[in-house]
Amino acid sequence: MGNLIKGGRAIIEALAAEGVDTIFGYPGGGIMPFYDELYRYSGSLNHILVRHEQAAVHAAEGYARSSGKVGVCVATAGPGATNLVTGIADAMMDSTPVVCITAQVQKEGLGAASFQEADIISITLPITKWNYEVTTAQEIGPVLAKAFRIARSGRPGPVLVSITKNAQTEEVDFAYEVEKNPAPSVTDELAEKLDKMAEMIRTSQRPLLIAGHGVTISGAERALGEVALQAGMPVATTMLGLSCIPSDHPNYIGCVGMHGSHAPNRMTQAADLIIAVGMRFSDRVTGRPSDYAPKARIIHVDIDPVEIGKVIRVDLPIAGDARTVLEGLLERDIKSVWRGSWWDMARDVAVREAKLLTNVQLASNRGLTMATVVQRISMLVGNDKIVVTDVGQNQMFAARFSYFANKRSWICSGGLGTMGYGLPAAIGAKVANPDKTVIAFMGDGGFQMNIQELGTLLQTGLAVKIVLMNNSWLGMVRQWQELFYDKRYSFTHLENPDFQIVAKGYGIPSARIDSVEHLDEAIMQMMNSEGSFLLEACTVSEENIFPMIPAGASIDKIFIDNDFTEL
């Protein structure tokens, strides 16, 4: 026997071997043997005690999304494990690598309706890349090695490992071998497709490159910018693709989709070539699929072959790693003649949109608006920050009026649209990036879904700058009720607590403003505060986010105000 240790210690040693420096968790009876070993562990593994297991997985997501590493969360059996489900589903939709370790009852108690027994394997089967129930200590090492490899390989995603209590207390002769992921390579088939792709770019008159979250996941940011410059073509992003190209890149024209900018949406419909890299043609991007990009040939690059052709017809399918493909393009001739009229269209639409939307969204005569709050923070704080949002209008305003200089500096819940995501994800991002400013934009609805995580800030001393845009409504639902349900505001008005008193109870300094005149001063007060800070901006109650494309409509139908005015 070379290294005889208990299963709980084996979990810790496996995490250390994988290079994990932080885990987010909440103890309980089933996972207690692991926590006992963690108490006695003398290594550098950091544990962040959250206040709810849902927050543990969202924090692990924020950690993973901002760092490029695998996030790890730990929960006990039964309700501890089931409380992870929403976050696991969120990670699955947004391709976020997370390893979830949950406890399970004793092996001999399985199937006997034992206290806190829940079949978490069956529950999470549709929302994980892989899951497994460990019932002996001998399985811990091999199973965790496989879990980490699967979580970070190909299209990343969540993995769940359920470990019975007896497996945590049994002794095992522990040895661990990290399972490495094979590096992407250029096969002969891929080389041929890259040649064809380069030819299509060279001969196109109106190309548009749309970059999604896959660009960030693969680390293809530098290659993306160079391809855009070399080919002389415009680049747009999906919402999850924000920050994969600097906001001031000369070829960047904005974000596509339901609340995206006019220029990339209009150019999508006029393009003769769409190069979609690391995005899945979500309904929020395409609108009505039958009307999408009617004049364009489409090249779709995605690591997951299942996504290619699933929503939109594709002329050149390329199932591959975004970085490998974009770097391969740089080795080929993709230069073309100057597409002056194509760029003139982009500039013309952008200028007209800016003039109209400035009047609609940044006017202060109605009071303090979310648009103004986000814009002034962007101006005063600068671009060297990580922006985390919750879900709803706060998310869309932050996406529209934030500017990004660095990669992995935009984090939000995309595909699942999970309210309550923002605060714990910001905590995870700050843990992963202690020297960076992390700003969390939230609405009053989503903030209250995981408001207890202020306690995590209190206990850890982490410095997260919280911008609470409080309009006393579930704003995005209210907007739809106004525009499409004849202002029948069914259960969307919120009677809120005094958030200043709540923040004080958690030892977090705060300020409340309700006018533009005091906004800049309050922002600087927040930024000059050493630790966490809650800036509560009491915004106008019926502000809407524009532009907007109605759900199910063609992306030609972009309106800019409550009267359905089109540009």
Q: Which of 116, 138, 452, 459 is catalytic?
A: 116
Instruction: Yes or no: say if 295 and 271 are a contact pair by the CB < 8 Å rule.
Output: yes
Does the annotation count 117 as an active-site position? no
* 429 class by beta-carbon count within 10 Å (0-12 exposed, 13-18 middle, 19+ buried): buried
Q: How far is CA 438 from the centre of its chain?
A: 14
Q: Is 564 a catalytic residue?
A: no
- Going by their DSSP bridges, the two strands 510-513 and 533-538 should be labelled as parallel
How deeply is 45 buried, as exposed, middle or buried, from its count of CB atoms within 10 A (0-12, 13-18, 19+)? middle
Cα 276 off chain centre by: 19
**Residue 263 contacts residue 231 (beta carbons within 8 Å):** no
- Per the annotation, the verdict on 476 as an active-site residue is yes
Mean pLDDT confidence for 38-62: 96
Domains along the chain?
Answer: 4-173 (3.40.50.970), 188-346 (3.40.50.1220), 367-538 (3.40.50.970)
Counting every residue written for the chain, the total comes to 567
CA-wise closest residue to 158 among 219, 90, 59: 90
Q: Which residue has the tokens 């997951």?
A: 304
Residue 115 is among the residues annotated as catalytic for this protein: yes
> Among the options 53, 117, 133, 307, which is catalytic?
53
Over 70: is that where the pLDDT of 358 sits?
Answer: no
Which residue among the candidates 476, 481, 533, 548 is catalytic per the annotation?
476
Q: Is pLDDT of 447 > 50?
A: yes
pLDDT of residue 430: 98
Q: What is the CA radius of gyration of the chain?
A: 24
Catalytic residue among 108, 115, 504, 566: 115
Residue with tokens 């979310």: 370
Nearest to 487 by CA among 498, 477, 500: 477
pLDDT given at position 364:
47
Of 339, 351, 344, 395, nearest to 261 by C-alpha is 351
- State pLDDT tens for residues 452-480: 999 999 999 999 999 999 999 999 999 99
Percent of the chain with pLDDT over 70: 98
Max CA distance (Å), the chain: 76
DSSP state of 70: P
Both tokens assigned to 311:
């929503």
Predicted confidence (pLDDT) per residue in 293-345, tens digit: 999 999 999 999 999 999 999 999 999 999 999 999 999 999 987 888 999 98
Known catalytic residue at 148: no
Which of the residues 6, 165, 385, 465 is marked catalytic?
165
pLDDT in tens, 492-528: 999 999 999 999 999 999 999 999 999 999 999 999 9
